[in-house]
Amino acid sequence: MAGRLDGRVAVVTGGCSGIGLATVRRFLEEGAKVVIGDVDDTRGEELVSELGVTYVHVDVTSKEQVDALFQSAKDTHGSVDIAFNNAGISPPEDDSILDTDLDAWRKVQEVNLTSVYLCCKAALPYMLEQGRGSIINTASFVAVMGAATSQISYSASKGGVLSMSRELGVQFARQGVRVNALCPGPVNTPLLRELFAKDEERAARRLVHVPMGRFGEPEEMANAVLFLASDESSFITASTFLVDGGISGAYVTPL
């Protein structure tokens, strides 16, 4: 069924690659007008030409730039109906708590958790004024279970995203705004490929836990985001929406 997002305006952070870009393409297929927020200006301008989207340079840890992103969506297209708060990082220096220093901890928290707070804070006033809206925040399966490979700040940040999404989903449900947390399993994105290309053993340790025996694809995550953004999920809010190939439901002996 095409046209599930006809006439709606979607803001996607981290929209120049990976899950974000796959979701941008999926939203466009379903009739949405899309505003991408990212720091990759070269790729952003390419997507403006290729897809006809609006691109805004945004450092998601800056309140002023995040506010300007959502204001741009409102000014350009007249509403803010969907916010897919997806930007995130997983740097190699984020490892065991014994090895991760305070600067690395803070950097990941700022990009992965504080940015979601800022994006929700910016999007909600528009949605509350309209009396409708859907916010989807990217958490992770590691928000509900321990990671097989240690990434202490990443795991903690995604737990924070999940908890915040639940609270907002409950708080604003009767005002027409739904808030859900997408919890992907390991996904075949540039971020994951870069991380595991440097350590094949680490990739194998992660993959053995996935019952389906493979990593997810960005397009599979995009389909889940589309569902949460559309009216097909109209009775879903404050949800932990796991799209993880069964990893969170399985017991698998590690290698």
Q: For the ranges 4-8, 9-13, 87-91, 206-210, which has the lowest average pLDDT?
A: 206-210
3-state secondary structure of 137: strand
- Please tell me the predicted confidence (pLDDT) of residue 30: 98
Predicted confidence band of residue 91 (pLDDT cuts 50, 70, 90): very high
Domain at 9-189+216-243: CATH architecture: 3-Layer(aba) Sandwich (3.40)
Q: What residues have CB less than 8 Å from 173, skipping those under 6 apart?
A: 237, 238
- Could you tell me the residue ranges of all domains in the chain? 9-189+216-243
For residue 203, what pLDDT is reported? 67
pLDDT class of 215 with cuts at 50, 70, 90? confident
Mean pLDDT of 172-195: 87
pLDDT class of 188 with cuts at 50, 70, 90: confident
Structure tokens at 100: 């991760």
The pTM of the full predicted model, rounded to 2 decimals, is: 0.93
Q: Contact 228/165 with Cβ under 8 angstroms?
A: no
Q: Are 180 and 120 in contact (CB under 8 A)?
A: no
User: Tens of pLDDT along 108-129?
Assistant: 999 999 999 999 999 999 999 9
Residues 140-144, mean pLDDT to the nearest whole number: 95
Across the chain, mean pLDDT equals 93
User: Who contacts 162 (Cβ-Cβ below 8 Å, separation ≥6)?
Assistant: 139, 143, 144, 181, 183, 240
* Lowest-pLDDT choice from 53-57, 60-64, 188-192, 235-239: 188-192
- Of 1-15, 115-129, 185-199, 221-235, the range with the lowest mean pLDDT is 185-199
- Predicted local distance difference test score (pLDDT) of residue 198: 60
pLDDT class for 253, splitting at 50, 70, 90? very low
Task: Look at the block and give the residue holding tokens 């941008």.
Answer: 24
CA pair distance 138, 84, nearest whole angstrom: 8
| Residues belonging to the active site | 154
pLDDT at 9: 98
The percent of residues above 70 in pLDDT, for the chain, comes to 92
Q: Give Cβ neighbours of residue 201 (< 8 Å, ≥ 6 apart).
A: none
* CB-based contact 221:177 (threshold 8 Å): no
Of these ranges, 34-38, 192-196, 214-218, the one predicted with the greatest mean pLDDT is 34-38
Query: For residue 194, what pLDDT band results from cuts at 50, 70 and 90?
Result: low
